[in-house]
Amino acid sequence: MNERSVGIVKTQFYTLKVPFFLNSGNFLEEVTVAYETYGKLNSEKNNAILICHALTGDAHAAGYHEGDEKPGWWDSTIGPGKAFDTDRYFVICSNVLGGCQGTTGPSSINPSTGMSYGLSFPQITIEDMVNLQYEFLKHLGISRLYAVAGGSMGGMQALQWAVSFPEMMQKVIVLASTAISSPQQIAFNEVARQAIMRDPKWNKGDYYDGEFPCEGLALARMIGHITYLSDTAMQNKFGRDVKDESMFQVESYLHYQGDNFTKRFDPNSYLYLTKAVDLFDLSNGKSLEEGLKNVKADFLIISVSSDWLYPSYQSKEIVEALTLHDLKVEYREIVSHSGHDAFLLEKGQINYHVSSFLEHLSVRNVMLSEVPTIDEGCSLEEAAQLMISKNTTHLPILSPSGRISGIVTSWDITRAVANKIVSLEDVVSRDIVTTRQEESLFVAAQLMEKYAISALPVVDENGCLVGILSSDNISALMGKKAD
């Protein structure tokens, strides 16, 4: 366990004191919520961030349970100094309504019968999940959230939060998700549900006192895992490797994932949760612009380049609809071969983008303020010697007034030597791209990419040099956030 972990944590439970009513008009007489928290709620109670989990996730998002070797499912982003910095924020994650990891769901005991609900559990929606989270947060004394964040089904919850309670959060982060489930997404979920229901042991959902429908649930999970990985990810991970004479490595992987899943998940919960995902449609049969007309939060929408389950176009549709309402929206596409699972795996990119959004990281936060410089008239040899002694690759050239007038790089020096150029003036760059301290770090990085440069001089309002931003600075930040 490293110093940036939240350490040993315990799942807590809260039971509502009144019946919980669903959008359908049905109600649950008794509802328990399983949850975990990390960090401390400040005296103003304005530093809370709600994390919403994906389809088969749970409340254990970070840290370690006593005796466990693996941390929570999003431990790479939650903890001291990470994107969801527990030195600054009070981070909360609860198991969703209909789940099977401590929150009331089909496997829970119906107080009216003393038996598991099974299929007598009412159909639920993403909105019902969010409404329960709202009631639970009142128990914690939280009336306003700093942010709501989630990926996949968790992203749907985050979007629903913005629609249902537009005044309650300042920021919303949606990763690898959609505002409207597509026919293809519904189709995959239906095949998975049929795999469960066609297992003879499913027994119309009444299996809690009998044999568990493991084969059907394992097959459903195998189908799911195929959609979570991209073609490239499968090729890189498995190729056509053979585990033994009768089975490819990819087959073995799917069998392992399916069989292992049956040890921790309830088949009926899988049915209910996938159906809630299918029913999710923030357009309400009209337009997404109309469905999002009342939201007020700032948004960060993240997609994954290789995600074919929730492709980038669906994230862009959300961005377009939000932009039409003049909201502050940032869109990032993670470049990854990992497919849908990249929102869990690409910890460097995720931490960088999320922390930049939450903390408003600017050039000032990352730039080097002590920068070796040279004056006009400096010789090529003097510049080379200074680069070596200061271990730097970029030397801004300053005029007598302190304004930057040029820049020379180690590549310029190399080119001069190779071409037997003796004058520094013949290799120096005079057409300089600069940035300001208050500029967004992301915008500055985009500028560096646009002009294919690895360093960006930082100047004040008078054009005087105050620092330098390098690609190494940004890479170091991403690496630090990913540790």
Report the 10 Å Cβ neighbour count for 335: 11
* Lookup: tokens for 260: 């292992």
Catalytic residue among 76, 108, 152, 470: 152
35 conformational bin, left if phi > 0, alpha if psi -120 to 50, beta if neither: beta
Q: CB-based burial of residue 281 (10 Å sphere; 0-12 exposed, 13-18 middle, 19+ buried)?
A: middle
Active site residue 152: yes
CA-based nearest residue to 456, from 366, 386, 377 = 366
Largest Cα separation within the chain, whole Å, is 92
Report the half-sphere exposure of 399 (CA within 13 A, side-chain side): 9
Q: Residues 256, 259, 260, 261: is their CA dihedral positive or negative? A: positive
Could you tell me the CA-to-CA distances from 269 to 120, 152, 211, 321 in Å, in that order?
A: 12, 17, 16, 32
Active site residue 340: yes
Radius of gyration of the chain (CA): 27
Burial code (b: 16+ CB inside 10 Å, e: under 16) for 395-433 equals bbbbeeeeebbbbbbeebbeebeeeeeeebeebbeeebe
Q: Which residues pair with 394 in a beta bridge?
A: 409
Strands in 255-383 per DSSP E: 298-304, 329-334, 374-375
Listed in sequence order, the DSSP H helices in 167-248 are: 183-197, 214-228, 231-237
Catalytic residue among 128, 307, 341, 412: 307
Active site residue 255: no
SS3 36: strand
* Lookup: tokens for 311: 């492709």
Q: Which residues pair with 398 in a beta bridge?
A: 375, 404
CA-based nearest residue to 261, from 208, 237, 225, 310 = 225
Catalytic residue among 225, 337, 340, 353: 340
84 conformational bin, left if phi > 0, alpha if psi -120 to 50, beta if neither: beta
CB 59 within 8 A of CB 49: no
Query: Catalytic residue numbers?
Result: 152, 307, 340
